[in-house]
Structure 1
C-alpha cells in the first residue's frame, strides 16, 4: 500500500466518531509530524476562504486569524502555489507583521504551509505549526507531502460515490493511485474550462458535480470528457 493509502486507511479506522475525515487527518498529521497544531483550509481565486478543519482549538484560532487578517503562511502558500517555510520565527519577522506577532505570543517557533493543488489548480493549504524552531528534515518533509496528497484526496473525493465505496475495503490504493497518477483529470479540467468558459477552479467543480449527479467517479467522467463523449458547452 502506498504511503497516502496508509494515511487514508488509518483515518477510516478512526472514522465513526464525531470528527470529520479532514479533522482526523489534521490530528493524525499533528501526531506524526510532532506539531503543536495543524490546520486545513480551502480557498478560492476570488480570495474567499473556508476553514475546513483543524487539529484542535488552538489550530482553529490560528487558521481563522490569518484568514481574517488576509496574511500568513496559508494565504501565501495559496497565492503562490509554493511551499512556505519559516523555520525560525523571530521577533523581527516582517513577512506577516500582524500575524507573526500572534504566532510569537502563542509560542510558535516554526510554521510550514503546503499548497493543496492538482496541477495548476489551487485548492487551499495545509498548515503545520511547531513550537521548536528548525526546518523539517527529509523524513518529515516527505511525510508532510504524503499528508498533503491525502488531504487533496479527501477534499475532492469525499463525496465521490466510487471513492466512498472503495474507502471501506482494500481497494483504496487503486482509488488513490488513480487520483494521483491519471492525467485525464488534469486534461479534462482544461477542456471543461474552455468549453464552459470558466476558470480552472470552476471547471473542476463542474467535473465533480457531474460525477456526483451521475453516480460515477471523477476519473470516469474525466475520461469521457477527454474522449469527447461528454461536452460542457
Structure 2
C-alpha cells in the first residue's frame, strides 16, 4: 500500500501527464489509457477499466489496464447487468467488497469475475455536466483492498 506522500507524487505526475497529452496533438484513446493506468497505480486496484455510453445508450469498454479478452468480457457483463450498469443507471458509486455475495441479478458478472480471481469491485459514474457518460470500474483480487479514497 502506498503512503500519502507517494500517492501525492503520483497524482502530481498524473496531472502533468494528462496536461502534456492535452497540449500536444492528443490522442483521445491514449489519454483514456493514461487515466486508467494512473487510477490503477493510485488506488492499488488489480485492474481498472473505463466504459462509455455509446450512441444507443449502452455501456461499452473503451480501455482497461489489461487488454485481456476475459477481463474485457467480464467488464462488459458488468455493463449489462452488474455494478457498472447499476452505477450508470443510478448515478451512484457502487462498491462490493465480496463479489461472491453480490445480488442475484449480477450472476453473469459475478461468475466471470470470480473465474478471473477478482473478489471486489467499485464502479464510479463519470459525469459531463448533468449527464452520466460512463463509468470507471476498479476490480481487485483478495490480496488487494477495495479502493475507497
The two structures share one fold, judged by TM-score above 0.5: yes
Max Rg structure = 1
Going from structure 1 to structure 2, the CA distance change for 1:82 and 1:134 (only over 3 Å counts) comes to farther
Count of residue pairs the alignment pairs up: 135
Distance 2:54 2:37 in 1: 24
Per-residue Cα deviation, 1:195-231 (whole angstroms, up to 9, x for no partner): xxxxxxxxxxxxxxxxxxxxxxxxxxxxxxxxxxxxx
Contact 2:46 2:144 (C-alpha < 8 Å) held by counterparts:
no
Distance 1:119 1:6 in 2: 26
Contact 2:96 2:102 (C-alpha < 8 Å) held by counterparts:
no
Report the counterpart of residue 153 of structure 1 in structure 2: none
Deviation at 1:88, TM superposition (A): 1.1
Distance 2:131 2:101 in 1: 35
Are 2:66 and 1:56 aligned? yes
Distance 1:108 1:114 in 2: 17
Going from structure 1 to structure 2, the CA distance change for 1:20 and 1:89 (only over 3 Å counts) comes to same
Contact 1:41 1:50 (C-alpha < 8 Å) held by counterparts:
yes
1:39 to 44, 49, 54: 49
Report the counterpart of residue 77 of structure 1 in structure 2: 87
Q: Gapped runs of 5+ residues in structure 2?
A: 1-9
Report the counterpart of residue 130 of structure 2 in structure 1: 120
Report the counterpart of residue 110 of structure 1 in structure 2: 120
Going from structure 1 to structure 2, the CA distance change for 1:50 and 1:103 (only over 3 Å counts) comes to closer
Per-residue Cα deviation, 1:157-177 (whole angstroms, up to 9, x for no partner): xxxxxxxxxxxxxxxxxxxxx
Going from structure 1 to structure 2, the CA distance change for 1:95 and 1:125 (only over 3 Å counts) comes to same
Q: Determine which structure has the larger strand proportion and give its number.
A: 2
Q: Determine which structure has the larger helix proportion and give its number.
A: 1
Q: Gapped runs of 5+ residues in structure 1?
A: 143-233
CA RMSD of aligned residues (A): 3.3
Report the counterpart of residue 26 of structure 1 in structure 2: 36
